[in-house]
């Protein structure tokens, strides 16, 4: 009988776990709907402002703004954007693996690498491997604010203008669908056409008011800020989608485990009943 009690206790524990995974799935689904709406609405705006910035910067003199200045690539800043929490499948492991591989490739090619992280999981991973972090931000998951993008972009711009770094690359999970996320490697600074050294004449159709310099002083930092915020939104949506899928799979696994454990319980119970019947028949035969 103690065996049956243990099996019943195990079934009860699995059922309780399933209640938790189902609740977490519902919470993740609610958060996903909210952040997905924000992300989809912001994605087109971010793409358009980046396109406009690149077009204007391609035909401008590089001396107009420090962010337009292209330098030989010596020190590369790599920002790895992960989550603060787990229970989201391979979301964190994929981005951390991609970031570590990218950093190793840069070092093999002789570049100095400065590493920063957004998210507790990425920070802990690099600290465990004794990789010095220049900067880290945590507490972003589930508490996404535009102020975070403003803080991160301000730090990026300051270090680029001070020539502490010559290039800034952001690695994050881009949201594709509820069941698919893509690791994206985005070069924030310098702007691609400037880095490639393309000389594009200023279009005569473009009029600058009040002036090129004043426009770039507002537009270039704003573009960096917007691209960082877009990455935060994409990563947040991808994380909630991954967590929802992981919890759904966990709930299904609980169903399978409950079915298998119930079968074991029924077999043990049947064996015990059969044994008791055999004992009763044996006693009856002995009394004859």
Catalytic residues: 88
Name the CATH superfamily housing domain 2-22+246-287. ATP synthase, gamma subunit, helix hairpin domain (1.10.287.80)
Could you tell me how many residues make up the chain? Answer: 288
pTM of the prediction?
0.85
Enter the CATH code of domain 45-244. 3.40.1380.10
How large is the average pLDDT for residues 89-105? 92
Predicted pLDDT at 2: 56
Q: Where do the domains of the chain lie?
A: 2-22+246-287, 45-244
> Is residue 206 predicted with pLDDT exceeding 80?
no
Higher pLDDT, 117 or 204: 117
pLDDT per position as a tens digit, 112-168: 999 999 999 999 999 999 888 999 999 887 778 889 999 999 999 999 988 889 899
pLDDT per position as a tens digit, 17-68: 999 999 999 999 999 998 999 999 999 899 899 888 888 877 777 777 788 8
The span from the CA of 55 to the CA of 81, in Å, is 28
Tell me how far CA of residue 246 lies from CA of 156, 195, 237, 251, in angstroms.
34, 41, 14, 9
Predicted pLDDT at 101: 94
The span from the CA of 262 to the CA of 4, in Å, is 10
> Is residue 242 predicted with pLDDT exceeding 70?
yes
The span from the CA of 186 to the CA of 159, in Å, is 18
Predicted pLDDT at 176: 87
Predicted pLDDT at 195: 45
Predicted pLDDT at 192: 58
Cα torsion through 91, 92, 95, 96, rounded to 10: -160
Closest C-alpha to 125, from 93, 173, 148:
93
Predicted pLDDT at 157: 92
Beta-carbon contacts of 67 under 8 Å, excluding residues fewer than 6 positions away, are 157, 160, 161, 189, 190, 191, 216, 220, 221, 224
Percentage of the chain beyond pLDDT 70 is: 93
DSSP characters over 125-150: HHHHTTPPEEEEE-S-TT---HHHHH
What band does 285 get if pLDDT is binned at 50, 70 and 90? confident
Instruction: Calculate helix-pair angle for 91-108, 120-128, nearest 10 degrees.
Output: 50
Mean predicted lDDT score pLDDT of the chain: 86
The span from the CA of 109 to the CA of 224, in Å, is 27
> Is residue 197 predicted with pLDDT exceeding 70?
no
Predicted pLDDT at 198: 46
Beta-carbon contacts of 156 under 8 Å, excluding residues fewer than 6 positions away, are 77, 79, 168, 188, 189, 224, 228
Structure tokens at 214: 């004043």
């Amino acid at each position: 009988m103690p065996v049956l009690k243990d099996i019943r206790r195990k079934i009860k524990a699995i059922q309780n776990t399933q209640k938790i995974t189902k609740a977490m799935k519902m919470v993740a689904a609610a958060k996903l709907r909210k952040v997905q709406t924000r992300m989809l609405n912001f994605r087109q705006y971010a793409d358009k402002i980046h396109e406009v910035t690149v077009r204007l910067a391609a035909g401008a003199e590089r001396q107009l703004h420090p962010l337009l200045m292209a330098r030989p690539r010596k020190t590369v800043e790599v920002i790895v954007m992960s989550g603060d929490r787990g229970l989201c499948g391979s979301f964190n492991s994929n981005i951390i693996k991609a970031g570590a591989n990218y950093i190793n490739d840069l070092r093999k090619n002789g570049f100095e690498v400065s590493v920063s992280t957004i998210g507790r999981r990425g920070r802990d991973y690099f600290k465990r491997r004794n990789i010095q972090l220049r900067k880290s931000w945590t507490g972003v998951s589930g508490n996404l604010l535009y102020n975070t993008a403003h803080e991160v972009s301000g730090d990026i711009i300051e270090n680029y203008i001070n020539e502490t770094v010559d290039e800034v690359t952001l690695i994050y999970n881009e949201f594709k669908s509820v069941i698919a996320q893509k690791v994206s490697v985005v070069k924030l600074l310098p702007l691609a056409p400037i880095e490639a050294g393309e000389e594009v004449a200023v279009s005569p159709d473009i009029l600058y008011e009040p002036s090129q310099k004043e426009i770039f002083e507002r537009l270039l930092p704003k573009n960096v800020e917007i691209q960082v915020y877009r990455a935060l939104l994409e990563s947040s949506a991808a994380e909630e989608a991954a967590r929802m899928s992981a919890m759904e799979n966990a709930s299904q696994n609980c169903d399978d485990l409950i079915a298998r454990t119930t079968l074991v319980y029924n077999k043990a119970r049947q064996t015990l009943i059969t044994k008791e019947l055999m004992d009763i028949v044996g006693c009856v035969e002995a009394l004859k």
